[in-house]
Protein backbone atom coordinates (compact mmCIF):
# COMPACT_ATOMS: atom_id res chain seq x y z
CA UNK A 1 0.00 0.00 0.00
CA UNK A 2 1.42 3.38 -0.99
CA UNK A 3 0.54 5.73 1.84
CA UNK A 4 2.80 8.68 1.21
CA UNK A 5 5.74 8.31 3.63
CA UNK A 6 6.58 12.01 3.39
CA UNK A 7 3.23 12.84 4.98
CA UNK A 8 3.70 10.47 7.92
CA UNK A 9 7.42 10.23 8.62
CA UNK A 10 7.22 12.77 11.46
CA UNK A 11 4.25 11.19 13.27
CA UNK A 12 6.53 9.95 16.09
CA UNK A 13 7.59 13.58 16.64
CA UNK A 14 4.00 14.83 17.05
CA UNK A 15 2.78 16.18 20.38
CA UNK A 16 -0.76 15.08 19.50
CA UNK A 17 -2.90 13.80 16.65
CA UNK A 18 -6.27 15.39 15.91
CA UNK A 19 -8.67 13.15 14.01
CA UNK A 20 -12.20 12.29 13.24
CA UNK A 21 -12.98 8.62 13.63
CA UNK A 22 -11.70 7.50 10.21
CA UNK A 23 -11.36 10.14 7.52
CA UNK A 24 -8.76 12.68 8.70
CA UNK A 25 -5.72 12.67 10.98
CA UNK A 26 -3.35 15.57 11.57
CA UNK A 27 -0.16 15.36 13.63
CA UNK A 28 0.64 18.54 15.54
CA UNK A 29 3.99 19.37 17.09
CA UNK A 30 4.49 22.01 19.75
CA UNK A 31 7.60 22.82 21.74
CA UNK A 32 8.02 25.59 24.26
CA UNK A 33 9.25 28.72 22.51
CA UNK A 34 7.57 28.00 19.16
CA UNK A 35 5.41 30.82 17.81
CA UNK A 36 2.65 28.34 16.96
CA UNK A 37 2.22 24.56 16.70
CA UNK A 38 3.17 23.04 13.36
CA UNK A 39 1.62 20.36 11.20
CA UNK A 40 4.01 17.38 11.08
CA UNK A 41 1.69 14.80 9.49
CA UNK A 42 -1.66 14.81 7.73
CA UNK A 43 -3.74 12.32 5.85
CA UNK A 44 -7.18 11.17 4.74
CA UNK A 45 -8.80 7.75 4.75
CA UNK A 46 -6.14 4.97 4.70
CA UNK A 47 -3.38 7.45 5.45
CA UNK A 48 -5.37 8.81 8.42
CA UNK A 49 -5.79 5.30 9.81
CA UNK A 50 -2.06 4.71 9.43
CA UNK A 51 -1.21 7.99 11.19
CA UNK A 52 -3.41 6.96 14.12
CA UNK A 53 -1.75 3.51 14.25
CA UNK A 54 1.72 5.08 14.37
CA UNK A 55 0.54 7.52 17.04
CA UNK A 56 -0.72 4.64 19.19
CA UNK A 57 2.58 2.78 18.75
CA UNK A 58 4.43 5.86 20.02
CA UNK A 59 1.97 6.71 22.84
CA UNK A 60 0.98 10.00 21.20
CA UNK A 61 -2.40 11.28 22.44
CA UNK A 62 -5.18 11.15 19.84
CA UNK A 63 -8.00 13.69 20.07
CA UNK A 64 -11.13 12.89 18.10
CA UNK A 65 -12.73 16.12 16.99
CA UNK A 66 -14.20 15.93 13.47
CA UNK A 67 -14.72 19.68 12.86
CA UNK A 68 -11.24 20.53 14.13
CA UNK A 69 -9.66 17.70 12.12
CA UNK A 70 -11.40 18.82 8.91
CA UNK A 71 -10.50 22.45 9.52
CA UNK A 72 -6.83 21.71 10.13
CA UNK A 73 -6.66 19.35 7.15
CA UNK A 74 -8.19 21.89 4.79
CA UNK A 75 -6.32 24.98 6.02
CA UNK A 76 -2.77 23.75 6.64
CA UNK A 77 0.00 22.00 4.73
CA UNK A 78 2.85 19.93 6.12
CA UNK A 79 5.34 22.13 7.92
CA UNK A 80 2.87 25.02 8.25
CA UNK A 81 2.05 26.63 11.55
CA UNK A 82 -1.60 26.07 12.39
CA UNK A 83 -4.02 28.76 11.24
CA UNK A 84 -4.80 31.36 13.95
CA UNK A 85 -8.48 30.32 13.90
CA UNK A 86 -7.38 27.10 15.61
CA UNK A 87 -5.06 28.56 18.27
CA UNK A 88 -7.60 28.32 21.10
CA UNK A 89 -8.63 24.72 20.36
CA UNK A 90 -5.04 23.51 19.94
CA UNK A 91 -3.89 25.46 23.02
CA UNK A 92 -6.50 23.61 25.07
CA UNK A 93 -5.26 20.28 23.75
CA UNK A 94 -1.63 21.17 24.48
CA UNK A 95 -2.56 22.39 27.97
CA UNK A 96 -4.34 19.11 28.66
CA UNK A 97 -1.30 17.13 27.51
CA UNK A 98 0.99 19.21 29.71
CA UNK A 99 -1.36 18.79 32.67
CA UNK A 100 -1.50 15.04 32.01
CA UNK A 101 2.28 14.79 32.05
CA UNK A 102 2.42 16.73 35.32
CA UNK A 103 -0.31 14.57 36.83
CA UNK A 104 1.48 11.37 35.81
CA UNK A 105 4.60 12.55 37.61
CA UNK A 106 2.49 13.32 40.70
CA UNK A 107 0.92 9.90 40.95
CA UNK A 108 4.15 8.07 40.36
CA UNK A 109 5.23 9.52 43.69
CA UNK A 110 1.84 8.99 45.39
CA UNK A 111 -0.08 5.95 44.22
CA UNK A 112 -3.21 7.16 46.06
CA UNK A 113 -3.36 10.46 44.18
CA UNK A 114 -6.28 10.73 41.73
CA UNK A 115 -5.53 9.70 38.17
CA UNK A 116 -6.03 12.37 35.48
CA UNK A 117 -9.23 12.25 33.45
CA UNK A 118 -9.46 12.54 29.69
CA UNK A 119 -6.44 11.74 27.60
CA UNK A 120 -5.01 8.29 27.86
CA UNK A 121 -1.77 7.94 26.00
CA UNK A 122 -2.45 6.31 22.65
CA UNK A 123 -6.23 6.51 23.01
CA UNK A 124 -8.89 9.02 22.09
CA UNK A 125 -10.08 11.73 24.45
CA UNK A 126 -13.14 10.90 26.54
CA UNK A 127 -16.41 12.79 26.12
CA UNK A 128 -16.01 14.10 29.68
CA UNK A 129 -12.58 15.58 28.94
CA UNK A 130 -13.88 17.12 25.70
CA UNK A 131 -16.68 18.78 27.69
CA UNK A 132 -14.18 20.04 30.30
CA UNK A 133 -12.21 21.67 27.49
CA UNK A 134 -15.25 23.12 25.75
CA UNK A 135 -14.59 21.05 22.64
CA UNK A 136 -18.12 19.67 22.44
CA UNK A 137 -19.31 16.53 20.72
CA UNK A 138 -20.94 18.31 17.80
CA UNK A 139 -20.14 16.98 14.35
CA UNK A 140 -21.58 20.00 12.53
CA UNK A 141 -19.64 20.87 9.40
CA UNK A 142 -19.11 24.50 10.36
CA UNK A 143 -18.41 24.11 14.07
CA UNK A 144 -14.92 24.21 15.50
CA UNK A 145 -13.72 24.24 19.11
CA UNK A 146 -12.93 27.58 20.65
CA UNK A 147 -15.71 29.32 18.75
CA UNK A 148 -13.91 29.35 15.40
CA UNK A 149 -15.91 28.73 12.26
CA UNK A 150 -14.76 27.00 9.14
CA UNK A 151 -15.53 28.81 5.90
CA UNK A 152 -16.40 26.54 3.00
Cα–Cα distance measured from residue 105 to residue 29, given in angstroms and rounded to the nearest whole number: 22
In Å, how far are 22, 61, 82, 129, 133 from 96, measured between CA atoms?
23, 10, 18, 9, 8
pLDDT confidence bin for 68, thresholds 50/70/90: very high
Give the span between the Cα atoms of 52 and 54, in whole angstroms: 5
Residue 40 has a pLDDT of 94
For the segment 24-62, what is each residue's pLDDT rounded down to a tens digit?
A: 999 999 988 889 999 999 999 999 999 999 999 999 999
Report which DSSP code applies to 116: P
Q: Where are the domains of the chain?
A: 5-136
pLDDT digits (tens, 9 = 90+) for 113-141: 333 333 333 334 455 544 554 444 443 33
* pLDDT digit string, tens, across residues 102-112: 654 333 333 44
> Residue 123's CB: how many other CB atoms inside 10 A?
13
Average pLDDT over residues 84-113: 70
CATH code that applies to domain 5-136? 3.40.1690.10
**Stretch (H or E) spanning 63:** strand 62-64
- In the DSSP assignment, the letter for residue 85 is G
Query: According to the model, what pLDDT value does residue 39 have?
Result: 95
Tell me: pLDDT of 23 over 70. yes
Amino acid sequence: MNIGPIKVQAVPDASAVVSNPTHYAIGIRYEEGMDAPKIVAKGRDELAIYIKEVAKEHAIPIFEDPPLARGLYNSCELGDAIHPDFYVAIAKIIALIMKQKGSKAMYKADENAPKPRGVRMGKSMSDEARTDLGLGNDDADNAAPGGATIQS
